Amino acid sequence: MCLCVWLIESKTKAILVPNEQYLKENVKTLCSTMKQEIAVGLFVEEERDVYMIERKDTIVDIIRMQQQADRWQSLTVDLIDCGPGSREGDNYMSIIKRVVANCRATSFDGRKHVFKISLIFKRQITNPNRRRLFRCDAAFENEITAYASIVPILQRISPYDLPYPKCLTAGSDVNGDRIVLEDLTISGYAMVDRRVGLSFEHCIAVMKELAKLHAVSLAFKHGQPHEYADACAKVREIVYCPEAADFYTHSLESSLRGALDSLRYSNSDGDLDEPIRAIEGLTGRLYRIMSGLVCDGVDDAWRVICHGDTWVNNLMFSADGRRVKLIDLQTMRCTTPVLDILHLLYTSTELAMRRQHITDLLLQYRRTLLDALEEHFCAYDDPATVATLLHHFADEFSYQRLRAEYDRCLPYGLGIAMWLLPAVTFNPDQIPDLDAVTINDFKTKNHEKKIAQMVSVDYHTRMRDIALEMHDQGVLQRLKRGIGCI
């Protein structure tokens, strides 16, 4: 961590802040006494890294990038607030900040303008060990590529808006990698409480947007196969790849041991005996099973550009819950579309919702997928060609085939649940300190011992429900026989 000297600009004077330790000890005093003078924003969380300062000229540059070159004769920014852009425990792989600035501008006709702008800044985690261990650099690079290259390509060929926030800039500056996004809360979007399972209405909204997103890939692949291949080549798999295998193998094995401890704790009446034995058999195999489902055995006709991390904290819903935006594109990947669906359902819903509505959700996904493809193909001149294409995709993505692919990939749902449910169900007052985690914590079982002391009753309930569900559906029996573990 750099202990450089920061120069904080003021209307009347320059104040030298010697180092980060000084900031940690005095930032509250500085902010309160110079709130009207300082033209940059900063904030800290207790016992955590100082959040990087965003300069006023950075905000000016970003605003100018979004405006016509001749719009403003002059533009100045007073940064009045720079605070957390997410709640404690809602983000692990980057620093999220909400920057709100009052702006004053003069147009070329001499008129004065005053307006306020709110932006979301994503920056790299500052702890170098945490960045290396969790491969934050690769994740951030993948997200920059997604916003700077992949999403613009997909949006260009899409007849409808994709479910992503507007990206103002994605790249790097003097302070390192950065992604700047529109603040969706200004438009009424918000995250739901991650500890409360998503409702059927929420899931319907997500299914519709996932179907439209996946339809873009299918139409792109059909109409411009070489360009589609070029786009896919830019998408990096950052989890199930050789350079990540060691860390994520140990991370998944740690999560597996934690899930087994939870199931043994919940097995007072013995109904979990068989699921426990089957899940014990996944020891040493889980990463390979997950990797196989993500990377191998995917029918090329089904392979699309997926979001890759559709858990509740990467979803922002409109006030009525009928519209949703997908955020955090760090694990965007090319794979079967059902993994986005399984990722959602087994990290962010409860058993009753899945049991009652899975057929409805898959049917909604299919209907929206075909409707979206029709929007893509309606520009074709020949109606007969359009009819043939739609018939082909209706057959390729029949409900029976969709359900078969969903069932084939159910082990992914089990694995991702074991991996993410602790983070989903953590109490905000008991968030693990990831800066202190090392690879040896996973290898020596120290990590799951710490996690076991933090998990909630809800975690035990959800893990029990999923284990019994997977057993009832024959998934655990398949895995025990070595079927479906590519």
Q: Give the three-state DSSP class for 263.
A: helix
Does residue 303 fall inside a structural domain?
Answer: yes
Domain that holds residue 319: 190-428+449-481
Determine if residue 328 is left, alpha or beta; phi over 0 gives left, psi from -120 to 50 gives alpha, anything else beta. Answer: left
Q: CA-CA distances (angstroms) from residue 221 to 287, 302, 446?
A: 29, 10, 46
- What pLDDT is recorded for position 9? 28
> Hey, what are 255's tokens?
């999560």
8 A C-beta contact, residue 40 and residue 50? no
Q: Which helix (H) or strand (E) holds 76?
A: strand 72-84
Asked if residue 405 belongs to a domain, the reply is: yes
105 DSSP β-pair partners: 75, 113
For residue range 380-430, list pLDDT tens digits in order: 888 999 999 999 999 999 999 999 999 999 999 999 999 999 989 987 666
The rounded distance, in Å, linking the Cα atoms of 397 and 240 is 26
Task: Give me the sign of the Cα torsion angle 333, 335, 337, 342.
Answer: negative
Contacts of 357 (CB under 8 A, 6+ apart): 200, 203
Identify whether 20 is part of a domain.
no
- Tokens 């605003």 map to which residue? 63
**CB burial string 294-329: b at 16+ within 10 A, e below:** bbeebeeebbbbbbbbbbbbbbbbeeeeebbbbbbb
Cβ neighbourhood burial of 129 (10 Å; 0-12, 13-18, 19+):
middle
**What letter would DSSP give residue 192?**
P
CB 181 within 8 A of CB 166: yes
pLDDT value of position 7: 24
* pLDDT, position 14: 30
Output the pLDDT for position 8. 25
Let me know if residue 404 belongs to a domain: yes
Whether 228 is in a domain gets the answer yes
Return d(Cα 298, Cα 467) in angstroms, integer.
Answer: 25
Q: Which two tokens stand for residue 36?
A: 């009207």
CA neighbours within 13 Å on the CB side: how many for 461? 12
Angle (nearest 5°) at CA 204 between 190 and 337: 100
Average pLDDT of the residues of the chain: 85
In whole angstroms, give the CA distance from residue 171 to residue 179: 6
Q: What is the DSSP letter of 235?
A: P
Strand ranges (E), 127-175: 167-173
Domain count, the chain: 1
Alpha-helix residue ranges (DSSP H) falling in 349-445: 351-377, 383-396, 399-408, 410-425, 439-443
- Alpha-carbon distance 173 to 158, whole Å? 31
Q: Where are the alpha helices (DSSP H) in 321-350?
A: 338-348
> What CATH number does the domain containing 359 carry?
3.90.1200
* 241 in a structural domain: yes
Q: Which two tokens stand for residue 271?
A: 């109904």
Instruction: Evaluate whether residue 98 is within a structural domain.
Output: no
Q: Write phi, then psi, for 95 (nearest 5 degrees).
A: -95, 125
**Has residue 218 been placed in a domain?**
yes
- Give the integer Cα–Cα distance in Å for 156 and 222: 15
Q: How many residues does the chain have?
A: 486
C-alpha to C-alpha distance for 125 and 313, rounded to whole angstroms: 18
Please give the chain's pLDDT, 486 residues, in tens. 232 222 222 222 232 333 444 344 444 443 333 333 333 333 334 333 434 568 888 888 888 888 776 788 889 888 668 777 766 555 667 889 899 989 999 988 889 999 999 999 999 888 888 888 888 899 999 999 999 999 999 999 999 999 999 999 999 988 889 999 999 999 999 999 999 999 999 999 999 999 999 999 999 999 999 999 999 999 999 999 999 999 999 999 999 999 999 999 999 999 999 999 999 999 999 999 999 999 998 999 999 999 999 999 999 999 999 999 999 999 999 999 999 999 999 999 999 999 999 999 999 999 999 999 999 999 888 899 999 999 999 999 999 999 999 999 999 999 999 999 998 998 766 666 666 667 776 667 665 556 665 678 899 999 999 999 999 999 999 998 875 554
Please tell me the distance from the alpha carbon of residue 409 to that of residue 292, in angstroms, as a whole number: 10
Tokens 């079927």 sit on residue: 483
| Rounded distance between C-alpha atoms, residue 206 and residue 222, angstroms | 24
In angstroms, the CA 464 to CA 232 distance is 38
For the stretch 157-177, what's the b/e string if a residue is b when 16 or more beta carbons lie within 10 angstroms of its beta carbon?
bbeeeebbbebbbbeeeeeeb
Strand partners, 171: 178
**Who's near 251: CB < 8 A, 6+ residues apart?**
419, 442
